[in-house]
Structure 1
Amino acid sequence: MARKIGSRYTAHQVLGRGSAGTVWLGEGPEGPVAIKLLREDLASDQDLVGRFVQERTALLSLDHPHIVGIRDLVVDGTDLALVMDLVRGTDLRSRLERDRRLAPEAAVSIAADVADGLAAAHAAGVVHRDVKPENVLLDSAAVPGPGGAPPALLTDFGIARLVDTPRRTRATRIIGTPDYLAPEIIEGLPPRASVDIYALATVLYELLAGFTPFGGGHPGAVLRRHVTETVQVLPGVPAELWQVLAQCLAKAPASRLKAGELGGRLRELLPSLAGLPPLEAAAPGGPNGERAPEAGGYGDAPLERDEPFAAPPVEPAPAGDRRRGAVPLVRGTAPDSSRDTHTSIKLPTAEELAGYGAAAAASAAADPAGRGGRARASAPDRPASPRHRAVADVVRQRRLKIAAAAAAALAVAGLGSWGIAAAGSSGHDSHGTDPGGTSRDDQAPPSSQGRGAGTGTTPQAPTAGAASPQGSTGAAVELPQWSAFRDAPAAGVALTGGPRALVVGGYTYVFARGADKAVWYVVRDASGYGPWHRLTGINVSGDPAPVSAEPGRIDLFALGTDGLLYRRTLEGGYWKQWIQVDERTHFDAAPAAASSEPGRIDLVGRVGGDLVTASLVDGRWNAWALVPTAGRITAAPALVSRGRGTLDAFVVRKADGAVLRLPFQAGAWRPSSVVAGLDAAARPEVLPQGDRFYVFAAGAQTAPAGPPEAMPLPAGAGPLGAAASGGTLQVYAVTGDGRLARATAAV
């Protein structure tokens, strides 16, 4: 029976049903369409309807030969529907149920098509989050590709993100299909583009083997296998294809290929796979090799559990039985070589900053059949939404070798854990609650006392045998002796929060937020202060963050009251207009900025209690990436660069107020450490000077090798701004009555 969907579409008959709704064959002004009508309970959720409308622009912009195009989004009374292109064919699940497994050439051709579609989506800032055979359609009306495989199109973009609202998804619930969930989602990290790569690799494994690498049985057991087991090698798979599969099924998101790279690699392998028959492979378990299903099996429905699951116990395997490649739950006994910390993210170099769009374009250029994706790069002035980036094989292998060497050296020395010189406080464990330094809890970490070499703790170090990045730590560093604070001329309004200072061309620029929610700044030279200036255009929250990456130029970053990040540039003596840096990512606190190389801008910000980073090189932003920290953070971060290619971020741990330092060296973020003796509730400030830096927080100052000292601040002062001009160190504070004050010290 026909039914109207909005004013333009008519649904005639049901094509299929899924966990989120029903797909109808429909008719619209431009001909036949597929209409996905979401469940009634979803349509009645006003918060979801609002998100649905907000996602409209992003979803309608996905235009690629291997993505089922979304023509319209309909909100009409109790109807909430996606109007999509009609694909004449079947889904990949139906093909698998008929054939069980595919020939390698056909399987790889389908996976390459899906990878091309994902590359375009990721370039547009959209993560699918539910890649599985049910969401891959095979266009039987088109000309078959390699191995006789019909062209594959990925559908249902945005459904998982729409359904997964905070109100509908509590901390104990996981949205997704268990067989295809990436380990970082199971461990509670936000989904990035790399989760789609893991899911697609799982689909490709299933196309080749006839079963998924970690599926079968109770959902809890499936989820545990994703996190703790290595993937079983498929007999008969060509070595080059297995290398790609294993890399994309790595536990660490940073180790996986990007979508454009994956599509290109798979298409390069197609000629060598021609004529190969389907594999004969058996999974551990049942009579035909499948794992025997247990009570509470998942079927095809997404996993949505209101209570924490209790994973069934694992029976010990016979001696020497390595069939399933199990990784022990106790860290350190037989770790997976790819099991880096899920948040061990490499900050890309300038050559890597072309991003998903460039990678997909290169893949398309290398595609002689012309089937490559038309991926679009992010806008030049806008980084992509937070997501992980892949690490080159050589870099990753080097890091693994270095980590192994460091671990061996520390084991010989009888050390159970490692911390840099600044983590000398016995009251703070620099690794948080997890031996690997990946704690996501808001609890203060336990004392490191008693963590001996036999407790399963994995040592961590940035480099094997490297000296402390601050230089010698054998003697205390003399802290600056500051003059009394003296008030600067009053601004047009009372200042709020804390200032930030920057020296450019011998002039000190001091920026602060006014009570009118505008940015105010004043310039000081050897003769004194100039007049105050007001930057209008947006209302800001938090302290503005200035940085100078080029001579005579200042880039100012500020957090709007809408939670979005904005940028304004001073060049040639004139300010340009405010521009939006990222239209999707909402920040919890004001960002911090630094320049680790000439012409490069590095940012850190706090999103949902996590520290994220992005960089601007040659006019293009790279993707936001998660910075590993020991626990959740609060307050605004600080960021400085002490030399080319280095960064140091300083954050406040939410659990106990400890100030943490997170160094970036040799292309990677290193383990965090506690700045001994400093606790804070607001943004810390850092002043680099030579081979060391001074850290200010909550009215105290310290250097890495010395004890903290109290610093006399004006009454009511909050966070400081610090800068060095010649041989003079300067700190700025906003007094209780809203005026700017300055203190100095000689180097």
Structure 2
Amino acid sequence: MARKIGSRYTAHQVLGRGSAGTVWLGEGPDGPVAIKLLREDLASDQEVVGRFVQERTALLSLDHPNIVGIRDLVVDGDDLALVMDLVRGCDLRSRLDRDRRLAPRAAVSIAADVADALAAAHAAGIVHRDVKPENVLLDTEAPPGPGGAPPALLTDFGIARLVDSPRRTRVTRIIGTPDYLAPEIIEGLPPRASVDIYALATVLYELLAGFAPFGGGHPGAVLRRHVTEAVTPLPGIPDELWAVLAQCLAKAPASRLTAGELAARLREQLPLLVGMPPLDVDAPGSPGDEDDEEDAEDRADEDGGPAEGAGGAGPSRRGGAVPLVRGSAPDSSRDTHTSIKLPSAEELAGHRRPAGSPAGDRRSPHRRTGAEELRRRRIRIGTAAAAALLAAGLGGWAHLAGGDDSASTSREDRDPEDTAPDGTDGAEGGGAGAPGGLPAGIPTAPTAGAASPQGGTGTAPLPRWSSFREAPDPAVRLAGGPRAVALGRTTFVFARGEDGNVWYLTRTGGRYGTWHRLTGISTEGDPAVVSSRAGQLDVFALGTDGLLYRRTLSAGEWGVWSQVDGRTAFDAAPAAASSAPGRIDLVGRTGGDLVTASLVDGRWNAWAVVPTAGRITAAPGLVSRADGTLDAFVVRRADGAVLHLPHANGAWRPSQRAGTLEAAGRPEAAAAGGVVHLLAPAAGGTGLVQAAAEGAGPWGAPGRVAARTADAPALVAADGFLEAWIRTADGGLARAAADR
């Protein structure tokens, strides 16, 4: 039955239904059109209508061969509709349902078309926010492109933004399709152009493999995998193509290509893919998996009925469509755009890779099912019951022996400041705390539940230090602890002077240079310094306004101070390291929490909170012991324990004690010959404490270094030695050395 849409359009036939509305085949003044009629509850929401009107000009201006053009936006009574060009063909999801996967050349050609569409939209300031196969249309009436792929057109611009109104989604919820959501969206950051790049790379992965890299199963599990897991490489594709895919699936938004760069890089790959057949890749959870039978039995036991997929029903994991209610099927249009609860940091960090699963096992990343969780719960309950019986049997004996096990509970387990932080920082303020201790507006950084995969092979011996010898006196007294970096054979040592300026001294081949002053801002706290490229170093200092500033030395010339972040106030200047050539990584403290950000390809990504086992005090230390790794060290406020937080494969690992080391101030770290060295002010008096570990640990017993200082030291591996630098009692600088 025909239906009038406004005064100019008539809807004749339903083409499909989705979560946001119904698509009709219609007729307008210029011929056939597609009309997306939004749901009645959306049409009756004045806020959505207001957004609809505001978006009208921007959406109508989108004009590109790979974008389904929007001809009109209609607001008429209870009708709210987008009138679009009619594309004769099918959507990409239908093609995947039929063929499961595409030949690499066809898949890359389609992805390049979509990247071109995104480049045009991003240039106009529009972020799509819901790139997925359902929103890619294939024009089967147009001449085919490379690999026989029909031209691809991206549709549904603006739908995600219209649905995502504040009244419909609180800050604790997110809008999107789980399989294609970028990690920063899950962590609460506003959607920017990079989220579309991540989603498109996920679609391309699915076109090649037949399944999404992190998709399938309960939406909460899908979200965890986006944040905590590294993408599994696809065998059988050229290394150059995999490098493009991996870069665009990076957890850090700043690491991804732009849409224009992605389109160009994909088209460069097309000649390499001529004649290549579809990949032969088994999806995780596919038939033949040795755990399928056990999983099916447990699903039947848990659900009270036959297991889904039993009896040869095919893979348990489906690409694209994700039911939100256990046992339900997606709607007929497979549109999974929905509002989902934003997971907490604990939920994101709670995902574990099944024990014994090798890193390269295609099944391992996504094998955690509800059934497996049920089995694990049964094991935990049984273990707990056995432990309770054992404790009951031993309790009387322990009482008669005069012992009380309750006293042996570690402080980490019972300190209320670690388990229920109040979000305040006492007299150490400076950052704006939020409930639960998280600074307002700062999301949680990517975390992973497993320990660092670069674990050490054993403890390392502690170096033997020379006595501290004073360096040339600065022009003004120094007011804080130094930080140092090696640039070639020259060591640069930086510290804040009592005049509020940053001062630095150089030492090359045993000879000191003269003191230099960096003017331009009045600083607080100890400056941080890093060298990310040969011949270049960057200094970071905290201004008296609590904001962070950066200054760069390159080719022997200093630039000017520039503001790194105009919003985030810090309690202490962050520590800096470089985990890859040209990359700068920062960790800092704000409101008692640890936050991190990175500079990649000249762009900063947003600050994010790194979960730690308790609130922290003083500034952190940071070192990169190998490409792609970071090791942060912080002092827990509750007990002075030094915590070690490894970072690898794009995610922060759970914090662990750095042996038994305790400190009264900022810990400093340096890496030499695969050994990480730690140096920090001793708790309860003057002097320094030290510890060492091969790789990521374990940590050996700590030692002491005689030094008349209560400040944090500087520690650097330079010119064949480990060097330690301290501020002397008269405001000068002193150095000690140890063979590494």
TM-score, normalisation: structure 2: 0.49
Higher helix share: 2
Between structure 1 and structure 2, the one with the greater Rg is 2
